[in-house]
Amino acid sequence: MFPFADVIKAILQMAPSVLIGGPTFLYYWLMVAVVAMLYQRVTDMEKKLHGVVRNESLDQTIAAIFHGFVAGLVGSFILIFVGVSLSSKDTVWVIGLALILMAFDRRLICFSYAGGLVSLSSLIFGWPQVNVPGLMGLVAILHITESLLIRFTGAGCATPVYMQHKSGKVVGGFTMQKFWPVPIVVLVMALITDRSLISGLTTMPDWWPLIRSRTMPLDDPNFIFTMIPVVAVIGYGDVAITSSPERRARLSSGYLALYSFALLGLAIAASHYPAAAWAAALFSPLGHEFVAVSMSRRETRGVPLFVPPPHGVMILDAMPDSPARAAGLRAGDVILAVNDVPVDRRAELFEFFRPSAAPGAGPDEGRGPGWLPHLNLVVRRGQRRLTIRATELRREGGLTGLVTVPEAGDDYQVEQRSGNSIKALAAWLQARLGSAHRR
C-alpha cells in the first residue's frame, strides 16, 4: 500500500524551507519579484485605461504566493505518487531555456515548450543528456497543478478592455493574466556510502515508481530516492470575449487537464517503451500549442458577449470599491432607463451621473424638473428585470467605476493576438535570419 501519511508528512516538512531558507530560497523570492513586476504591469495598464485599478499588484502578488504554495503541495504529492525522478541538471536546462524563450513571447515561459525542446535535442543529438520520461512527467504534473490554479483562481485578475474581433468590430472583453511562483518537491536518486547515517526511510510498494528511467538502479540498495525542492513560475494568459472570465477559466482548465493527463500517460509509457519518448517530447509543445490556439480561436471567432444591445446600455464591468459596484451593478447588466427616462447610449446614461449643482451653488440650482436625490435604474439582468436605487453615482470628479461596452466609433484598446506562440517564434527567427543574410 502506498504510504500516504509518510509522504504527506515529508512534503509538509520540506516545503517551508523554500520560503524561509534553503537551497532554493533566493531563487524563489527572485521569482516572486518577477511575478510582482508582471502584476504591476497589469495595474499600470488598468490605471491608464480606466483611471482606477481593478487588480492591485500587491494584493495579487500575496494571493499568488499563497495559491502557488498550496498548489505546490498538491503537485508535490502527485509527483511523488507517480514517482517522477530527475537530476538537478534536468531542471536547470529547462528553466534556462524557458527564460530565453520568454524573451520572444511571455507564454513561452511555460515548461511544455522548453521541456519538449530539451527532450527532443536529447533524443536527436544525445545532448543534453536528460531523463526524458521524468522530464515529461514533471511537465505533465506542473500542468495538472496549473489547471487547478486556473480552475479556482484564473478569473481573479481580469481587466475589462475593448478588443478588435475577427469580424472587424470593436467588442468588449477581459484580458486574464495570472502568475504563480510554485515551489514543488521532486525526487532525485542519491548514492548512500554509509547507511548508518540515515534513518526513517519509507518503504514504497513494488509497483512504484510508475515512471522508471532505464538507467535507474532500483535494485541497488546503495541508492535511495530523496526529495529536493525546485521552483517553477506558472503563467496563465487568456481573453474572455464570448463568455465571462469565470466560465472562460473553467473551460481553459478543463482543456488543460485533458492535455496534462495525456502527457502524463505518454511519460509513463516512455519509461517502458523508448519509441514513446519521441511521442511525449513532440506532444509536450505541440499539444499545448494546439490547446492554446484552439481556445484562442474559440474566442476570436465566436459570438461576442459584450456588445451594444438593441435597447439600453450594457455594462462591461463595475470596478471594485466604486459607486457602481456599491450600487449592485455587475458585468452583463443592461441599464434600460434612469428615473423613468430610457437610455440607449453611454452619453445619455452618464448625463445622469453629473452632480446636480456646482460646488457652492444653492440647494435648487441646476436641478431641473423631476430631479431626484437618487437614481432609479431599471436593469435587465439575464431574463430578470429589476430596479436598483443608487445614491452614490453622482460623484464629484465623475469616476463612477462603471465601464460600458464599446459603441460605434470607439477604438480598441488591446490588440487581440492569434495565440500561436510557435508561429510567432518562427516568424521572429525568420526575420532575424533574413536580416543577417542581408548584412
Mean pLDDT, range 83-108, rounded to an integer = 82
Q: What is the pLDDT, as a whole number, of residue 361?
A: 35
- Per the listing, cell 519509441 goes with 275
375 DSSP β-pair partners: 390
Q: Residues 231, 163: contact at Cβ < 8 Å?
A: no
Instruction: Give the pLDDT band (50/70/90) at residue 221.
Output: low
Section 47-70 average pLDDT: 94
| Alpha carbons 334 and 344: distance in angstroms, whole number | 10
Q: Is the pLDDT of residue 428 over 50?
A: no
pLDDT at 96 over 70: yes
How far is residue 177 CA from its own chain's centroid?
5
Per-residue confidence (pLDDT) for residue 226, from 0 to 100: 85
> Which CATH class name applies to 313-404?
mainly beta
Asked whether 85 and 213 are in contact (CB, 8 A), the reply is: yes
Q: Are 313 and 349 in contact (CB under 8 A)?
A: yes
Mean pLDDT is lowest, of 143-147, 275-279, 388-392, for 388-392
Res. 421: pLDDT tops 60:
no
Choose among 262, 267, 240, 87: nearest CA to 160: 240
Res. 201 pLDDT band, cuts 50 70 90: confident
pLDDT at 52: 87
Beta bridge partners of 386: 379
Q: Which pLDDT value is given to residue 360? A: 36
Return residue ranges of the chain for CATH 2.30.42.10: 313-404
Identify the band that residue 410 occupies on the pLDDT scale cut at 50, 70 and 90. Answer: very high
Give the pLDDT score at 64. Answer: 97
227-236, 271-280, 353-362, 376-385: segment of lowest average pLDDT: 353-362
131 contacts 213 by C-beta, under 8 angstroms:
yes
Q: At what angle do helices 88-102 and 132-153 cross, to 10 degrees?
A: 50
Residue 238 has pLDDT above 50, yes or no: yes
Instruction: Give the per-residue pLDDT at 357.
Output: 34
Considering the chain, what is the average pLDDT of its residues? Answer: 85
- The answer to whether residue 39 scores a pLDDT higher than 80 is yes
Nearest Cα neighbor of 323 from 347, 350, 305, 343 is: 350
Contacts of 334 (CB under 8 A, 6+ apart): 309, 311, 312, 313, 314, 315, 379, 380, 381
Q: What is the pTM of this model?
A: 0.86
Query: How many Å apart are CA 37 and CA 27, to the nearest integer?
Result: 15
**C-alpha cell of residue 134:** 521524468
CA distance 188 to 86: 5
Q: What is residue 429's predicted lDDT score, i.e. its pLDDT?
A: 46
Choose between 396 and 276: higher pLDDT: 276
What is residue 131's DSSP assignment? Answer: -
3-class secondary-structure state, position 196: helix
